[in-house]
A and B are shown apart, each in its own frame.
Chain A
C-alpha cells in the first residue's frame, strides 16, 4: 500500500502537477497565436522540434538515472520548458539552436540536479542564456515585422529557413533581419536620440514595439487566467511589474530624454512572459508569500537595470537566474510567523 493510504488524510484534492502544466500551456495559446500572426508560423515549428527534443532528452535522462518513464514524461514539465524556450527564441532560429538549447536545459539544468523539483535554476532560462552567450548573432536575429508584412512567410518557407538556413526568396537573413524594439531603443538612446522620436520609427507601435505590445498583452491575459485558476499566485507577477513600473517611472520622470516610458518597458521584450510564466516557475522561485514579493520585485528591478545599463537588450533571463540564486536566502528570512509564536 502506498504511503498516502497508510495514514491520514485519506482524502485528496484535485490539484495535480500535470494539470498545472496543462493549464499553463493553455494560458500560452493566445500569445502564441499572436506571435504566429506577427512573426509567421515558424514558432510552431520550433516549438514542435523543441517538444520532441525535450521528451527524448527527458526519456534518455530518466533511463540513465534509472527512474520510471511514465510519471515523469507525463508530468508535462519537459513540455513546458520546451514551449517556453521555443517562444523565447527568435523566429526562424536554426534547428540546431533549438536542439542545443533544449538538450542543455533538460540534461544539465534539470536532470544533473535531480530532475523535476530539484533544479535550482529555471531550465528554459539557463538554456536561453547559454544560447545568448554562445550564439549572439543567431539569438538576436529577429525578423522585422514591417518586412514580414510585405513579404509574409508561409509554413514551407519557415521550414526551409529553420532546417536549411535559407529564405525562399533567396535573400539572406542579414538583409531582412533587424534589431528588436528593445535593442533599437537602447542603441539609439546611446546615439543621443530622443526616445519619443525613436518610437516614431516603423519598428514601434502604439506603446512599445509593433506586434510585441500585443504579444505582451496576450501573455498578461494568459497570466491573469493562471492567477484566476490558482495555478500561480499573484505575488510574483504583481511585485515584478510594480517594481519595473516604479523604477522606470522614476528614471523616466527624472530623465525623459534618455529613458523609455514605463509602458514601453511593460510591453516590450519578455516582460509579460517573464512575469507570469517564467518567474512564477514554482520549482525555482521563492516559496513564502513575503519571499515571492521580494523575488518578484528583484526580478523586476534587475530586468530594468540590465536592459538600461547592462550589455544585453533584454534582462528577464539574467534577472530570473540571479534571483534563483538568492531563493534559499530569501526563503529563510521570510518565514511566516507561526501560530502562537
Chain B
C-alpha cells in the first residue's frame, strides 16, 4: 500500500449512502424476454448491424461491427431471434430515440463456441487491442470510451503509470465496490493484460478509504500474485468527491495535472476503471465478449437495493420491479449517481454498457423552490475542484456572453456539480454551464461551417478568376494565331500576286 502524492482544491465530503446496496452479494438479473440493444453504447461512431431480422443468434455472437476507428463491436447478450432493427427510445437525457437491434430471447441462453484461450503473452499488443475491440469493451466507469484506444499510447508516448480507478466517489453507487470485493482476481487478470499491452511497469489500484472490504480483497488477491504483478500496489485515498474523476484522480495519485484540453497520456498516465479491467480480463483470458455489466439499483424508494449482473438490453423497469421499487409507472429516475447522473423517464429503456446505477429517490434532494439570486458568496469557487469561478461563469452563461465564458475557462468545467451543491441560493449552476457549453460547441460548429463556406467561396472566386484569365489568354492566343495566319495568308497572297506579276511581266517580256 502506498500513499497518494497530491490532492486537489475544493471538492465535497458527501454522505456516501453506500451501505444500502452492499448487504447482498452480486445477483444475476433474470433473463428478459426482449433485449433492446442500441447500436451506440459508446463514445464515437455507432456500430453497423451485421445481422438481419429473423436471424437466429447465439449468446456472445457479434451482431454489429465497429464503424470507423472510434467504435466497437456489439454482441448478442443471449441466444434468440432478431426481431427488429429500428429506432427505439434510448437512455439519453435528450429522450430521443436511436437505432437499436431487438433480440427476442429463447430462454436457452446458449453460448456461441468461444475461441480457445491462448496465453496472451504470445500475442502482439496490436492483436490484444483488436481482441478487446472485438469484445466490445468500453470504459465501464460511465464515459463509455472504447478501451482499445486508451491501450494504444502511440509511438510518441511512453506510459509510466497505469491507474486502475476503483474510487467510485459518487454517493449511492457501489458496483465497483462490489466487483472489487467479489472479483478481485478477474480485475487483476485485466491488469496483467493492460500492463502487457501498454508495456508499463507501474500500476496503482486506487480505492477510497470508505471501502475497507474492497481494499482488503484487492490486497489479498494482489498478494497471491506478487511474482506476476510486481510494482502493482493498492493506493488508499481519502473519501472526497469528485476524486473518481480522471483528472482529479491523477492529481491525487501523482500530484501532476493533465494539461488543459490534453489527455492523461500526455503526462504518461493511462486510467481504466476496475469494471473495465475485469471485462478485459474476461475477454482476453476467457474469450468472453462484453455482454453484461454490474448495475447498482438503489435509492430511498428501493426496498431491496443491491448490485445486479445484468445483460445489456434488459429493460430498466424489469430490474426496478425485481428490486421492489416504490415508483409510479413512468416516474422519473436517475441513471448514474446523484451528482452527475441524469433524469430518465420511460419504463422500457434498456440497460447499456455505461449504465452503472439506477437511483430512485435520494436524501437531501435539491429543493423544489425557485432559486434566489446569486449573492456572490464564493462558496462555489471554494468547492470547485478545477479552480474555476462558477459565479462569474453563471453570470456570463446567463447573459449568453460566450466569449467571456471562454475567458473564464468554461470548457475546463467537469460538471461535477460541487458548485450547485454548495450554493446557498440553490442556483442550478451546472445546468447553465451545460447550456453555455452546448451553445459554444454549436457556435464553433457554425464558425467552422461559415469558415468552410468562406474558403469555398474564395476558392471559387479564385477558380473563376483563373478560368477567366485562362479564357482571355486563350482568346488572345487565338486572336494572335488568327492574326498571324491572316498575315501569313496575306503575305502568301501578296507573294503570289507578286509572283504572278513577275510571271506576267516575264511573259510580257
Q: Which of A110-118, A142-150, A155-163, A213-221 forms part of the interface with chain B? A: A110-118
- The interface on chain B, measured as residues whose beta carbon lies within 8 A of the other chain's beta carbons, has a size of 63
Q: Which residues of B contact A6 (CB under 8 A)?
A: 343, 428, 431
Rounded to whole Å, the gap between the CB of A296 and the closest CB of chain B is: 13
- Given A2-B370, A233-B382, 12 further pairs, Cβ under 8 A: A3-B371, A8-B336, A8-B342, A10-B343, A11-B171, A11-B417, A13-B12, A13-B422, A17-B425, A71-B372, A282-B376, A339-B387
A169-B12 Cα distance, complex, nearest whole Å:
61
Query: Please, which residue of chain A has its CB at the minimum distance from the CB of B339?
Result: A9
Q: Closest approach, in angstroms, between the C-beta of B250 and any C-beta of chain A?
A: 10
Q: B342 and A339: CB pair below 8 A?
A: no
Identity of the chain B residue whose Cβ is nearest the Cβ of A20 in the assembled complex: B424
Q: CB of B426 within 8 A of chain A?
A: yes
Contact A17 B381 (CB under 8 A): no
A8 touches B369 (CB 8 A): no
Given contact pairs A4-B428, A7-B434, A20 touches B377 in the complex (Cβ within 8 A):
yes
Contact B262 A340 (CB under 8 A): yes
**Within 8 Å of chain A (Cβ to Cβ): is B217?**
no
Complex Cα–Cα for A16 and B422 (A): 9
**Chain B residues near A331 (CB-CB < 8 A):** 389, 392
Q: Quick check: is B14 within 8 A (CB to CB) of the other chain?
A: yes
A117→B422 contact, CB < 8 A? no
B367 on the A face (CB < 8 A): yes
The answer to whether A117 and B338 have CB atoms under 8 Å apart is no
**Contact of A282 (CB < 8 Å), options: B259, B367, B375:** B375
Q: Are B378 and A337 in contact, with the CB atoms below 8 A?
A: no
CB contact list, B445-463 vs A, under 8 A: none
Nearest Cβ on chain B to A176's Cβ, whole angstroms: 42
Judge whether B430 and A15 touch: CB under 8 Å.
no
Task: Assess whether A15 is in contact with B423, with CB atoms less than 8 Å apart.
Answer: yes
B 362-394 contacts with A by CB, 8 A = 362, 364-379, 381-382, 385-389, 391-392
The B-contacting residues of A in range 55-73, CB under 8 angstroms, are 71-72
Tell me whether A151 is interfacial, beta carbon within 8 Å. no
B34: Cβ under 8 A from any A Cβ: no
Q: Is there a chain B Cβ closer than 8 Å to A259's Cβ?
A: no
In the complex with contacts A4-B420, A6-B431, A338-B386 CB distance below 8 A: yes
CB–CB B375/A117 < 8 A: yes
A329 within 8 A of B: no
Given A2-B368, A340-B259, the answer on whether A11 and B408 have CB atoms closer than 8 Å is no
A118 contacts across to B, CB distance below 8 A? 373
A294-341 with Cβ < 8 A to chain B? 331, 335-341
Contact B421 A287 (CB under 8 A): no
Q: CB distance A8 to B371 under 8 Å?
A: no
- State A282–B389 Cα separation when bound (angstroms): 14
Inter-chain CA distance A115–B382, complex, in Å, is 25
Known: A4-B426, A287-B378, A338-B260. A11 touches B247 (CB 8 A): no
Q: Verify A75–B365 contact, CB threshold 8 A.
A: no
- Selected contact of A116 from candidates B260, B373, B423, CB within 8 Å: B373
